[in-house]
Amino acid sequence: MKKLLCLLAFACVVGTSAQNKRLPQLGKDPVEKILRAMTLEEKAAMLVGVSVEEGSSLVANVAGTTCAVSRLGIPHTYLQDGPSGLRIDTVRKGDTRKYYCTGFPVATLLASTWNDKLVTKVGATMGEELNSYGIDVLLAPGLNIQRNPLNGRNFEYYSEDPLLSGYMAAAIVRGLQSQGVGGTIKHFAANNQQSMRMFNDARISQRALREIYLRNFEIAIRESNPWAVMSSYNSLNGQRVQSHRGLLTDLLRGEWGFRGVVMTDWGEPRITVDQIHAGNDLLMGGKPQQVKDIVEGVKNGALSEADVDEGVRRVLRYVLKTKSFKGHQATWNPDLKAHAVVACEAAEEGIVLLKNGRTALPLAKDEKVALFGVGSYNFYANGLGSADVNTPYTINMIQGLANANVSIHPRLDQYYRQYIANEDFQLGEANTPSWKNWFFGYKKPKEADLDPSFIGYRAKDCSKAIITIARNAGECEDRDYKEGDYLLTPTERKLIENVSKAFHAKKKPVVVVLNTGGAMDIASWQGLVDAILLVWQPGEEGGNAVANVLTGKVCPSGKLPMTLANAYTDIPASKNFPLHYKFSWDELLRPGAEVMAKKDLGYTLYEEDIWVGYRHFNTRGCEVAYPFGYGLSYTTFAYGTPTMKVKNGRCKVAVKVTNTGKVSGKEVVQLYATAPKGKLEKPLRELKAYGKTPLIAPGESAVVEMDFPLSDLASFDEDRMAWVTDAGTYILSVGASVEDIRATLQLAVKRETVKPVKTRI
């Protein structure tokens, strides 16, 4: 592979072989010796990312590179998106072959597996593709908290719970880094909305920060040692995150011991000297002016050379770990067939069965199914923007069911194909390829308005109905509480009503498949149908994975990583979240004072504090559509009496799980803690550990072991600026969801433990 020429040519000097013999070389000489040999301009250049030019020899327009200083043996390294798989262009200059990557399920689905080993396998498979295409670092995983279901980027994140989010992100990172490539945990921190994401000031209490919005990152760093952390655009309690030394240096490196590189998110705004002083090592997106800013900052005393040296030191240590430094040659030939098997396996295990009445599922072998809904054809494998993956294919519902030998009524198939073709023709001009359409999504046909008599004929000659409802979202825009997004459109609701009426009149069940990256309203219509299968955005093999669950080839074992509320207004964060506001591109980059003064745009009050998701619903006794950790199966499980051991500062709980049903299946076991009464109000239950059984045959059992450090029992006391573990008796609850508790244990803590922190964020 030819090396890219650095845009910052003055800093990337190609020395002669004679010069190289007299100069220290990275990898052969200590990093400190390399650092002493660098000019100030070269140091500055090492801290500024280089965007790859169009028409490069790489297969992709990679998101960015680090600068090379060839006279000192420092090569370029390459960084690329994204969270659902490596995002590359399909074409390579001078090559007629098309190149693709595997589209894996979105992060929310991966979290729904509750299976760390499987998610690590997904990360390792992604890592293999990075190696194939010569990429050193994946700009993923994202693990911000799903504070509100309308965050446009929630599908890139894992959960409303920081522990589940942290362990899932750690699993992906461990998988990636097992292949010699790096993971980047992002967006650090409290980047929980897309509206004004570059400027919004998240105003959060110290307790909520520590227990909810930083805890996920702390766990991921502790459990996986990622190569990189990406600092987010937003402000936090009045200070821009990318200029926040207390966050990026004192807490991240001082308290938590992070030793990797910190990079900024791409693009504006750029406050170069402040960003370097705060602890950013790579200013990504990178512009030559930023190199000049660093040099001038050192010369005029605005920036210490010690800050520059520390950043360069960390970048050099990162470069030493990369495949690019080690001379790895890209093969351009990933094993996409084998990787698709992993993608399908992950999708199958993260699909959540929410409802299953009238023995609607699984489908029988000889059934003829009426498949309704535009979403059955326009199936979303993953979300928009930097999460998009150029995949070799996407299996939709029609293809998946056909592959599973399920008979689909041909008249419906013919109708939808003709309808979608006509709608696509009308949308042709609006969908002219452009970066805006790629980023914000191409317009899709709206749901078809079917004549009730047409539906009635299908009820006569089909045994069951399946309706697919699809939603998509992406970065830069939040979703909205409106019809066609969080809510059903009138046409979608009419379709569900008419299909249910016709099929129920014949005593035949109706199944709804939800192909969505995030939560949506279910409570208002769930009573109309018999079964609901939440398949998220399941990657390129989605249709096959869904069909395997629908037919019972795979027994569903996914559990919800968030609460599905009865109503959006029941969600505490609904009171402090932007709605009904669409931005122009200029406003996104340069918002005016009027926008910045608006609540939930210029600033957002996290008034719900720690009461996010199930912490609120479960503690306050609020009814929900489906609770955190919930998911049905085609079989049943019995829990034995759990045991507990406390040793070396850790608590281990083990429980025997027996399959009491008629088919083989897997069960997710969740461990929650209830704290004794103390100074602070605490949630009724908080997740502390979880585990998943292997596939258990009917009548067989497996022991699930879960453990956690006793320090995880602590809550954050703002008055003392300390993590405090109260003395007293803690109730440990073993359950199938936060509301389905099967057994409890008592854990005695004899004395209070106080662990002060130094940094107020």
Tell me: the pLDDT tens digits for 369-401? 999 999 999 999 999 888 889 999 999 999 999
* CA–CA–CA angle 270, 275, 278 (5° rounding): 160
Give the residue-averaged pLDDT of 249-276: 95
Q: In this structure, are strands 352-356 and 239-240 parallel, antiparallel, or unpaired?
A: unpaired
Question: Is the model's pLDDT at 17 over the cut of 60?
Answer: no
Q: What is the pLDDT of residue 167?
A: 98
Residue pointed to by tokens 């093969």: 331
DSSP-derived secondary structure letter, 364: P
Share of the chain above pLDDT 70, in %: 96
Phi/psi-derived region of residue 85, left when phi > 0, alpha when psi is between -120 and 50, beta in every other case:
left
Q: Is there a contact between 380 and 513 (Cβ–Cβ < 8 Å)?
A: no
Question: Is the model's pLDDT at 6 over the cut of 60?
Answer: no
How buried is 201 (Cβ within 10 angstroms: 0-12 exposed, 13-18 middle, 19+ buried)?
A: buried
51/493: higher pLDDT:
493
Q: Is there a contact between 401 and 369 (Cβ–Cβ < 8 Å)?
A: yes
Q: How far apart are CA 478 and CA 192, in angstroms?
A: 10
Other CB atoms within 10 Å distance of the CB of residue 739: 17
pLDDT in tens, 558-579: 999 999 999 999 999 999 999 8
Q: What is the separation of C-alpha 669 from the centre of its chain, rounded to a whole number of angstroms? A: 22
Question: Is the model's pLDDT at 440 over the cut of 80?
Answer: no
pLDDT in tens, 65-116: 999 999 999 999 999 998 999 999 888 878 889 999 999 999 999 999 999 9
Mean pLDDT taken over the chain = 94
| β strands within 276-415, DSSP E | 352-356, 368-372, 407-408
pLDDT in tens, 332-359: 999 999 999 999 999 999 999 999 998 8
Cα maximum dimension of the chain: 88
Q: What is the pLDDT of residue 3?
A: 36
Q: What is the pLDDT of residue 520?
A: 97
Q: In this structure, are strands 201-203 and 603-605 parallel, antiparallel, or unpaired?
A: parallel
Query: Token pair of 303, please?
Result: 């920036």
Q: In this structure, are strands 352-356 and 643-647 parallel, antiparallel, or unpaired?
A: unpaired
DSSP-derived secondary structure letter, 442: -
Give the residue-averaged pLDDT of 680-703: 98
Question: Is the model's pLDDT at 10 over the cut of 60?
Answer: no
What string of DSSP letters covers 192-231? --STTTTT-EEE--HHHIIIIITHHHHHHHHHH--SEEEE
Q: What is the separation of C-alpha 315 from the centre of its chain, rounded to a whole number of angstroms? A: 26
Question: Is the model's pLDDT at 300 over the cut of 80?
Answer: yes
Phi, psi of 77 (to 5 degrees): -125, 160
Share of the chain above pLDDT 90, in %: 87
Bridge partners of 669? 691
Residue pointed to by tokens 């932007």: 578
Give how far Cα 49 sits from Cα of 41, 169, 284, 315, Å: 14, 25, 5, 11
Peptide bond preceding 445 in cis form (omega within 30 of 0)? no
DSSP-derived secondary structure letter, 653: E
At 267, the pLDDT band (50, 70, 90 cuts) reads confident
Question: Is the model's pLDDT at 413 over the cut of 50?
Answer: yes
Give how far Cα 566 sits from Cα of 12, 160, 534, Å: 58, 16, 16
Closest to 484 measured CA to CA, from 474, 476, 492: 492
At 588, the pLDDT band (50, 70, 90 cuts) reads confident
* CA–CA–CA angle 665, 178, 382 (5° rounding): 60
pLDDT in tens, 637-690: 999 999 999 999 999 999 999 999 999 999 999 999 999 999 999 999 999 999
Q: How far apart are CA 495 and CA 487, in angstroms?
A: 14
Q: How far apart are CA 155 and CA 103, in angstroms?
A: 14
Q: How far apart are CA 551 and CA 553, in angstroms?
A: 6
What are the start-end ranges of the H helices in 427-478? 435-440, 452-461
Q: What is the pLDDT of residue 13?
A: 39
Q: In this structure, are strands 603-605 and 531-534 parallel, antiparallel, or unpaired?
A: unpaired
Contacts of 431 (CB under 8 A, 6+ apart): 424, 437, 442, 443
Question: Is the model's pLDDT at 37 over the cut of 80?
Answer: yes
Three-class secondary structure of residue 242 per DSSP = helix
**Contacts of 447-450 spanning 24+ positions with Cβ under 8 A:** 447/373, 447/374, 447/489, 447/491, 447/492, 447/495, 448/374, 448/415, 448/416, 448/419, 448/491, 448/495, 449/491, 449/494, 449/495, 450/372, 450/495, 450/498
Residue pointed to by tokens 């655009």: 233
At 291, the pLDDT band (50, 70, 90 cuts) reads very high
Q: What is the pLDDT of residue 21?
A: 58
Three-class secondary structure of residue 759 per DSSP = coil
H or E element in which residue 514 lies: strand 510-515
Bridge partners of 673? 686, 732
Q: How far apart are CA 206 and CA 756, in angstroms?
A: 13
Q: Which residues of 88-113 are buried (b: 16+ CB within 10 A; e: fewer)?
A: beeebeeeeeebbbbbbbbbbbbbbb
At 55, the pLDDT band (50, 70, 90 cuts) reads very low
Q: Is there a contact between 360 and 149 (Cβ–Cβ < 8 Å)?
A: no
Give the residue-averaged pLDDT of 284-294: 95
* CA–CA–CA angle 651, 655, 656 (5° rounding): 160
Q: What is the pLDDT of residue 32?
A: 98
pLDDT in tens, 170-220: 999 999 999 999 999 999 999 999 999 999 999 999 999 999 999 999 999
H or E element in which residue 494 lies: helix 490-505
How buried is 757 (Cβ within 10 angstroms: 0-12 exposed, 13-18 middle, 19+ buried)?
A: middle
At 11, the pLDDT band (50, 70, 90 cuts) reads very low
Three-class secondary structure of residue 683 per DSSP = coil
Q: What is the pLDDT of residue 53?
A: 53
pLDDT in tens, 109-136: 999 999 999 999 999 999 999 999 999 9
At 292, the pLDDT band (50, 70, 90 cuts) reads very high
Could you list the active site residues? Answer: 265
Bridge partners of 653? 644, 706
Q: What is the pLDDT of residue 52?
A: 58
Residue pointed to by tokens 């908080």: 686
Closest to 133 measured CA to CA, from 69, 57, 76: 57
Closest to 208 measured CA to CA, from 550, 493, 613: 613
H or E element in which residue 692 lies: strand 686-692
pLDDT in tens, 454-499: 999 999 999 999 999 999 999 888 999 999 999 999 999 999 999 9
